[in-house]
Chain A
Amino acid sequence: MVQYIFHKADSRGHDHHDWLDSRKTFSFGDYYNPRRMGFGALRVLNDDTLPAGKGFGLHPHDNMEIISIPLKGSLRHEDSAGNKAVAAAGTIQVMHAGSGLFHSEYNNSETEVAEFLQIWVYPEELNTPPRYTLGALQQDADRNRLHTFIAPDKEDGIYIRKDVWFSTGYFDHGTAFTYPVHQPGNGVYAFVIEGRFAVDGKELSARDGLGISATSGIEVKTLSDDARLLIMEVPMNIHP
C-alpha cells in the first residue's frame, strides 16, 4: 500500500544566525527530531539563506553526496581538491565528498542575499575519490515539463548513485503529469519550491514536502501559476 509522510513548511527546524538562516526538513545540527531522520537515502534537505558576503567557512566532509541548488543569487565554492566555481541560480552544484575534502561556500554577492537548497544523499560506496560537478538547470522559459538533472545515466544528468533521480520544473496553473518511479522500491520525495501543487491529491504549498513510498508513480497537478517543484527519487534503504 502506498505510504505518505507530509512535512509542512512551518514544521521544519529553524536556525537563525547572523551568517545563516536555515529551515531544515530533516534533523541536522541543533535540530533533532527522531521522526525526521531522512527519507530513505535522502538525509538532509536544508533551505538556506546567506546574507551578503556571508557563508560557510572551510570545513570537511566525507562520504556524502552534497547537492546545492541556488534559488536566488550565487554561491562561491572552493575546495581542497582545487575546484573553484560560482554556482548561480539556474545551475546545480554536486559535491561527492567520498574519501574526504574541505570546502567553503560563500554568498558571492556583497550586496544581495543568496538562497539555496542544500541536499544530502547517502553514497552508494564508501571512501571513493571526491569529485565536483557544476551543471545547468533548465531555464524558466522551458516550462510545463520535468527536467531530470541527476540520473544514473550521464546522458540524462549528473551521476551520484545508480538508483537516484532528481527532477525539477516550472509549471503553469492546471498543468498535470505523472511521474513514474524509475526503479521499483524507490521512494519519491516531492518538495514544492514555489507555488502550489496537488501530489496524489494532497495539496502542497511552498516549501512543503511529501514523501511517497511503496508506489510505482505519482500524479501531480499544478494549483497555481509560476509553480516550481523538485522531485527526488531515492532508494528507501541507505545502502544499495
Chain B
Amino acid sequence: MDHNISLKLLAIGYDPAIMQVVARLLNSHAGWEGVTALTSEEGLEKISSGKYDAVLLCVGVSTADEGIFRQAVATHHPSTIVIRHYGGGSGLLENELRAALDHHQ
C-alpha cells in the first residue's frame, strides 16, 4: 500500500471524547480525510449518503450494530472496507487500515 494514498474514512463510535482523538489521528495523516459519526443513526445516514474507502467501527459499537453497519455498507457501497478498530485511537489504527487495504488489493 502507498503510504501516502488518499483515503476517505468514516469512523463510527459512541464516545465523543475518544472519537475526537480518532478523528484527529485520521486527519493528521497525509492524504487521509476522516469524519466521525457518534450515533448509529448518524452512522447509517453517512454510510448511505457518502462514499468512503473504509468504515471503522470504534468504541461502543456492539456486534449487533456491527452487523447492521456491514449490511448497510454492502447495500450502498459494497467496495467499501469495514474494519473493527480496537484500542481507541491507538497504535493499531494505521496498522489496521493498512492491513485491510493490503488484503483488499
Contacts and interface: CB of A to CB of B under 8 A. Distances in A.
Interface of A: 27-30, 32, 34, 37, 43-44, 59-64, 97, 99-100, 102, 120, 122, 126-127
Given A62-B18, A126-B63, A100 B95 contact: no
A33 to B, nearest CB: 9
Interface residues of B, number: 22
B92 to A, nearest CB: 7
Contacts of B95: 27-29, 32, 37
A32 B94 contact: yes
Contact of B62 (A37, A62, A64, A126): A126
A62 B86 CA distance: 7
A60 B62 CA distance: 19
A63 B63 contact: no
A32 B99 CA distance: 9
Q: Can you list the 7 inter-chain pairs with the closest CB atoms, starting with the nearest?
A: A62-B88, A29-B91, A62-B59, A60-B18, A60-B88, A28-B91, A61-B88
Contact of A100 (B88, B98, B102): B88
B98 A32 contact: yes
Given A60-B15, A60-B17, 12 more contacts: A28-B91, A29-B94, A30-B94, A34-B102, A43-B92, A60-B21, A61-B90, A64-B87, A97-B87, A126-B62, A127-B60, A127-B61
B90 A64 contact: yes
20 contacts: A27-B99, A32-B94, A37-B95, A37-B99, A44-B91, A59-B21, A59-B89, A60-B18, A60-B59, A60-B88, A61-B87, A61-B90, A62-B59, A63-B86, A64-B90, A97-B87, A99-B15, A100-B59, A120-B87, A127-B60
A29 B92 CA distance: 6
Contacts of B54: none
Contacts of B62: 126-127
A129 to B, nearest CB: 12
Residue in B61, B91, B102 whose Cβ sees the most chain A Cβ within 10 Å: B91
B99 A34 contact: yes
A60 B17 CA distance: 8
A64 B59 contact: no
Nearest to B103: A34
Contacts of B21: 59-60
Contacts of A64: 86-88, 90
